[in-house]
């Protein structure tokens, strides 16, 4: 009945200590060669290598070590094998920090000042009260809501767009196609926190940018494949967009010489907006294994129709 953590060994060793302390009744292993594949009932992976799942024939639950599951080939995963994504407070907190930091950098023009300093320019840019800056979220799930909660403390004007109707205190919520058209003109900063699905792939394109207020900025923390790269370059060149902060790209990393590397209006971070934190994630996985054993629904169970 072993849980095999099949990812980097350094973090696996951390998980092993925490598992032994918090759930000694659940055998845990992070060295694939140290466990017989037949004994593995729970597998935790980030990016499963081709054919990995065929090796573990007695799996009861497949855990994604990340909040997203687009890295899995869902056609390769038996429909009756539950796939559970990472829903844990540590990853939400990390994303809330990254988005708050990015919004504040834009709000207070820090990225302009980095360029100015290099050019020995001393020139202030006016800033306005936070309530004048409208920050909108594509996606209103675990991560967007964590970021929203942090930004609310600063007083930004907030809105969010999701698939289903949502009510979030202090946030103007939109949903569906019509909702998107009403939402976009309200976003001085647009934050993408959507899962990558056939419906959301390529969504950050010229048509969408043209519906934002002129000079808006985007922050993409979803996936690189949400973004139409040449449309972004066009929108930055025309001034329709003023800046882009991109934590995710396609591919990762970008190839040498890619125009994003040196673009003065693009700020790149290496897919680090957030990460699963062992101290909190372990509790989530333990709780889910106990739920599974008790026949209860697991937290973060992926819907195989909506693909997130």
- Least Å distance between CB 86 and ligand OXD? 6
Question: Around 68, how many Cα atoms within 13 Å sit in the side-chain half-sphere?
Answer: 19
Torsion of the alpha carbons at 35, 37, 41 and 44, rounded to the nearest 10: 70
Between 5 and 174, CB nearer to ligand OXD: 5
Number of residues that bind ligand OXD (CB under 6 A): 4
- Least Å distance between CB 66 and ligand OXD? 3
Question: Could you tell me which stretch among 2-10, 63-71, 231-239, 291-299 binds ligand OXD (CB under 6 A)?
Answer: 63-71
Q: Distance between terminal CA atoms of the chain? A: 27
- Least Å distance between CB 187 and ligand OXD? 22
Tell me if residue 271 is catalytic: yes
Contact 249, 123 (CB under 8 A): no
Does residue 66 bind ligand OXD (CB under 6 A)? Answer: yes
Does residue 67 bind ligand OXD (CB under 6 A)? Answer: yes
- The DSSP letter of residue 173 is E
Does residue 92 bind ligand OXD (CB under 6 A)? Answer: no
CA 56 to chain centroid: 28
Catalytic residue among 11, 85, 134, 223: 223
Contact 277, 88 (CB under 8 A): yes
Distance separating alpha carbons of residues 203 and 228, to the nearest angstrom? 7
- Least Å distance between CB 212 and ligand OXD? 24
Q: Which residues bind ligand OXD (CB under 6 A)?
A: 66-68, 86
Which residues are known to be catalytic?
223, 271
């Amino acid at each position: 009945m072993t849980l095999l953590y099949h990812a980097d060994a350094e973090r696996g060793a951390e998980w092993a200590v925490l598992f032994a302390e918090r759930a000694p009744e659940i055998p845990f292993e992070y060295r694939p060669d140290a466990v017989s594949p037949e004994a593995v009932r729970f597998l935790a992976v980030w990016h499963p290598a081709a054919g990995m799942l065929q090796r573990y024939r007695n799996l009861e639950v497949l855990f994604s070590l990340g909040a997203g599951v687009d890295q899995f080939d869902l056609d390769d995963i038996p429909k009756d094998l539950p796939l559970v994504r990472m829903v844990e407070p540590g990853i939400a907190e990390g994303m809330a920090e990254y988005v708050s930091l990015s919004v504040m950098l834009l709000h207070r023009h820090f990225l302009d000042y980095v360029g100015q300093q290099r050019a020995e320019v001393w020139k202030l840019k006016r800033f306005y009260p936070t309530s004048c800056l409208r920050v909108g979220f594509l996606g209103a799930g675990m991560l967007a809501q964590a970021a929203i909660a942090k930004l609310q403390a600063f007083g930004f004007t907030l809105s969010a767009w999701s698939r289903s109707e949502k009510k979030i205190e202090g946030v103007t919520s939109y949903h569906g196609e019509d909702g998107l058209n009403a939402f976009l003109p309200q976003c001085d900063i647009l934050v993408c926190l959507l899962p990558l699905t056939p419906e959301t792939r390529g969504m950050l394109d010229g048509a969408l940018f043209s519906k934002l207020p002129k000079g808006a900025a985007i922050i993409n923390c979803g996936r690189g494949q949400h973004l139409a790269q040449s449309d972004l370059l066009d929108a930055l060149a025309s001034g329709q967009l003023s800046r882009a902060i991109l934590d995710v790209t396609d591919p990762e990393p970008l190839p040498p010489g890619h125009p994003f590397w040196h673009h003065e209006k693009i700020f790149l971070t290496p897919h680090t907006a957030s990460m699963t934190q062992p101290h909190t994630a372990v509790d989530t996985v333990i709780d889910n294994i106990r739920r599974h054993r008790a026949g209860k629904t697991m937290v973060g169970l992926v819907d195989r129709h909506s693909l997130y």
